[in-house]
Amino acid sequence: MNISNEAQNVYEVIKRYGPIRSIEIVKKLNVSIKTVYKHLAKLLDEDLIEKTGSTPVVFYDIKIQNSEMTVIRDKDDKIIDDNYLYVSPNGEMLYGISGFKQWCKKNNFIFEKEKRMFVDKFKAFKKLKKDELISAKQSILSGGKKLHLNNIFFSSFYNIGHFGKTKLGQLVYLGKSSQNKVMIIDIVKIVKPAIFNLLEKYNIKFVCFIPPTIDRKLQFMDVFKKNLKLDLPEIKAIKVPSLTKIPQKTLRKLEDRIINANRTIAISPNQDINGNVLIIDDATGSGATLNETAGKIKNIAKQDIKVIGYSVIGSYKGFDVISEV
């Protein structure tokens, strides 16, 4: 480590007692707060520690890393580095090779073996993509129920085999569960080009955003919609209030999901819908919510229109329970 002895002392305190606040480091080392902040800045700059929280409650801890972890050796390493995100049990986000190696270490897996398996799986998924979108029309609503959607697309699957959540799946999960505005904005940056391609390809004239079921101080779709900045008239979808709010994604039977979607999403009939519509959701399992909403929109439309569904992440198996999201 290219740091002074004093900074090394601060590092050792953090390593032993972290997560720790700056004032506690001052007491341990019996130095001024100004001195501690100077060394903390150096340690952060060297990427040896990380801080969490916000003023006045900020904690410092060592960063889990290994210099060897970040070396990109071949094309397969590059695939992992661009498309993998590991979230540690304490919430640390490790991208790419360093995260993948940490995941292997945690699960006692052999890195080279898992790397080959991940790359093969990723390449198979990549073949399903066109213009950075996965068409899932053939796989949603398993059981042959009536489709109101003309097509449905995902930007990514939620899971990728035993490797767990995809990179985008992790971001959506964390963005929603932690109500992290910055993370949601990052998701918009990733998926926005693909959404704009859909607008052009299907001559979209209206947009509809699926409303949330669970009340949160910061709603994923509110931030997503604001930063997506679609210059299109919006069809208002409303979540019907009830004493017991049951998230559709927690239901394990397809029939229950269809009933839930049909009975809890309302579209005002007093809307002039005379063009193709894009419905946007954050996560899709069976596709029931998007499909039932599409049916309600087509029932109101004054002419034959196309309704396209889009979800940031979706299920690989056609009907899966994404209860975490």
Per-residue pLDDT tens over the stretch 120-158: 999 988 888 888 899 887 666 544 567 889 999 999 998
Boundary residue ending a domain (127, 152, 170): 127
CATH code, domain carrying 24: 1.10.10.10
Quote the pLDDT of residue 294.
92
Q: How far is CA 19 from CA 11, 59, 62, 301, in A?
A: 12, 6, 8, 57
Closest CA to 22 of 59, 63, 52: 59
Quick one: CA dihedral 156, 157, 158, 164, positive or negative? negative
Calpha distance 22→252 (Å, rounded): 48
- What are the two backbone dihedrals, phi and then psi, of residue 74, each rounded to the nearest 5 degrees? -150, -175
Quote the pLDDT of residue 262.
57
Boundary residue ending a domain (62, 93, 111): 62
Identify whether residues 107 and 203 lie together within a single domain. Answer: no
pTM: 0.73
Quote the pLDDT of residue 252.
52
Identify whether residues 29 and 98 lie together within a single domain. Answer: no
Alpha helices (runs of H) in 143-219, residue ranges in sequence order: 167-177, 181-201
Identify whether residues 18 and 76 lie together within a single domain. Answer: no
How many residues make up the chain in this entry?
325
Quote the pLDDT of residue 254.
53
**Which regions of the chain does DSSP assign to beta strands (E)?**
49-54, 57-62, 85-87, 93-95, 129-130, 133-135, 151-157, 204-209, 237-239, 265-267, 276-284, 307-314
Closest CA to 166 of 83, 69, 248: 83
Calpha distance 157→168 (Å, rounded): 8
8 A C-beta contact, residue 132 and residue 194: yes
Extract the residue ranges of the chain whose pLDDT is less than 70.
1, 64-73, 138-145, 241-263, 316-325
272 backbone φψ class: left, alpha, beta (φ>0; ψ -120 to 50): beta
Identify whether residues 227 and 268 lie together within a single domain. Answer: yes
- What are the two backbone dihedrals, phi and then psi, of residue 167, each rounded to the nearest 5 degrees? -60, -45
CA 210 to chain centre: 16
Quote the pLDDT of residue 72.
53
**DSSP for residue 252:** -
Calpha distance 222→227 (Å, rounded): 9
Report how many domains make up the chain.
Answer: 3
Quote the pLDDT of residue 50.
87
Closest CA to 84 of 23, 169, 191: 169
Quote the pLDDT of residue 67.
40
Identify whether residues 117 and 143 lie together within a single domain. Answer: no
Boundary residue ending a domain (25, 40, 62): 62
Identify whether residues 167 and 276 lie together within a single domain. Answer: yes
Quote the pLDDT of residue 117.
95
Quote the pLDDT of residue 251.
53
Q: Does the residue 321 lie in any domain?
A: no
